Structure 1
């Protein structure tokens, strides 16, 4: 017997991601249980493991994308779940780089132009919303509280800010791959920055400094369409990402003013999904740190991941339209 939640048509959901993606796996499994067809592909497999034929005329875009096991009709994609694809294949030579660029703008352009598809999120909207200075400026305009923040490559200004707003944190503006002297990958964590620790290295690039919130806890607020999932994170450390095994996670309610503001924020960037990080101070005020338009959530306990999985599957199955409950 078909599931009562099965789609009325056979139009598939396209999941754009790498092979190793536990977050996407949860959503794909839920779609399979609903008998919703899924095509999974990774642009990083192009050209050897992925073939593309796209035709454009005065009417529409048609064609197919073929993986080793699936065929996606480009004109018949219901929704696109844009997760974490690998980079386009490149190499050390000029020809290899040229080919990678053609793939990025060719295949990438086609996947971003599927007619009638509902994107969660559209890759270009993700790109627009990834810059932290823009995030903070938009958040403030939408009514969210943000800590005093400085972005600079001026050492004197950095020291002045650190003196005036202590304690101050340093945060990377982008999580670039970073390899240590022993060729081991390293992570630059959020950490305190005493004024006397700042040196001439500040002048080499842009840095983000932010006043540390005197927090009682952190919050990861995952928003999927109109559904909000606020999780209080109690952690023994300053950066809770360093202490996963020692954190506790509790579902909590989102204050009405925060809920209104985050929806305005997502509307500004035309996003369906966003993973917001907040700190709650000892008076109960929520302070926004950032919003990852493609943030992870699969590490949460099952009772938290299950409703998020359900909400994302709803978005993809019903193309953004609310389903009957």
Structure 2
């Protein structure tokens, strides 16, 4: 397929996303036309979206204060970090809920079904790949080593599982949910060690995920952009290195061939172009799959790794076609 240099790259992200700027700068240097919009916020005021259907095709226009984009002329879509679809202020509770839902299914549906556009990643595939149970299932099928895991609403099952792990056990939330303490303070729920004796009946309120602790020597993040893999070894004093990133160090590490093959199989099953894989590595050199964020952050890594990832993403968006 010949590369049409006049077709635009559509970037869906919020205005505060500095990570996107790294890729947009590269595309600008290459003179690739780019339209950046945050549909969840911009369509409430400064932007408009129209789609028309008939005779088996789709046509439409996205208008922003600076650009007018023919939806049939989009070469690729980068779904980065757009704001949630919400209603404009001033509506009643039920009207706001209706408007927000219509925006999600309407505008979200239009932007997820652009004709001939190449997605990094497609929003529906991002959502499918965010379920932890699905991740663990596909990871096992892809050949990764996976920690012993239980997801349960039964406190007795949780206690038995945690008591039977030779290296102890940890709790990990199934989703990065917003949480506030009784005093209203925003809290982040980090991965933490669990004593079976502290597990209470509160487990029955919702599903909880417990895993056998991996006796790791260090962590690894592998950022995959298609068949390009960028690995960094992470050293941190914390069980969950994300908790205090100012105390962690990272340096490039080679990804073993067996892990690379499993990464390829995993991406293929979820039909992903991009994935941020986290591993715990033991002293014996065993790589245990922890999770894969299909839209994970990557600009926190060393300058050389960050620059290489930005170029790899820019290449995909510029080409606008799959491998």
TM-score, structure 1 as length reference: 0.94
Specify the SS of the correspondent of 1:145.
Answer: coil
The answer on 1:220 being equivalent to 2:216 is: no
1:27 corresponds to:
23
| Alignment of structure 1 residues 131-280 onto 2, 5 Å | 131-165=131-165, 166-280=167-281
Cα offset, 1:320, TM superposition: 3.6
Checking the alignment, whether the CA contact within 8 Å between 1:13 and 1:36 is kept in structure 2 is: yes
Give deviations 1:221-257, integer Å, cap 9, x for gaps.
0000110001110111111001211211111111111
| Inter-partner Cα distance in structure 2 for 1:59 and 1:134 | 34
1:296 corresponds to:
297
Checking the alignment, whether the CA contact within 8 Å between 2:76 and 2:117 is kept in structure 1 is: yes
Checking the alignment, whether the CA contact within 8 Å between 2:159 and 2:196 is kept in structure 1 is: yes
Specify the SS of the correspondent of 2:320.
Answer: coil
2:7 corresponds to:
11
The answer on 1:120 being equivalent to 2:116 is: no
Specify the SS of the correspondent of 1:189.
Answer: coil
Q: Which runs of 5+ in 1 are unaligned?
A: 1-6
Mean CA deviation greater in 75-84 or 55-64: 55-64
1:3 corresponds to:
none
Checking the alignment, whether the CA contact within 8 Å between 1:15 and 1:83 is kept in structure 2 is: yes
Question: How many aligned positions are there?
Answer: 316
| Inter-partner Cα distance in structure 2 for 1:141 and 1:309 | 30
Give deviations 1:109-153, integer Å, cap 9, x for gaps.
110110100000000000100000110011001100000000001
Give deviations 1:204-224, integer Å, cap 9, x for gaps.
100000011100100000000
Cα offset, 1:48, TM superposition: 1.9
Cα offset, 1:70, TM superposition: 2.2
| Inter-partner Cα distance in structure 1 for 2:319 and 2:55 | 28
1:93 corresponds to:
93
Cα offset, 1:92, TM superposition: 5.3
TM-score, structure 2 as length reference: 0.95
1:315 corresponds to:
316
| Inter-partner Cα distance in structure 1 for 2:296 and 2:67 | 27
| Inter-partner Cα distance in structure 2 for 1:163 and 1:260 | 34
Checking the alignment, whether the CA contact within 8 Å between 2:251 and 2:302 is kept in structure 1 is: no
Cα offset, 1:181, TM superposition: 2.6
Superposed CA RMSD: 1.3
Checking the alignment, whether the CA contact within 8 Å between 1:225 and 1:320 is kept in structure 2 is: no
The answer on 1:42 being equivalent to 2:38 is: yes
| Inter-partner Cα distance in structure 2 for 1:44 and 1:53 | 15
Specify the SS of the correspondent of 1:241.
Answer: coil
Cα offset, 1:321, TM superposition: 5.2
| CA shift in 2, pair 1:321/1:103, >3 Å | closer
Cα offset, 1:178, TM superposition: 1.1
Checking the alignment, whether the CA contact within 8 Å between 1:277 and 1:289 is kept in structure 2 is: yes
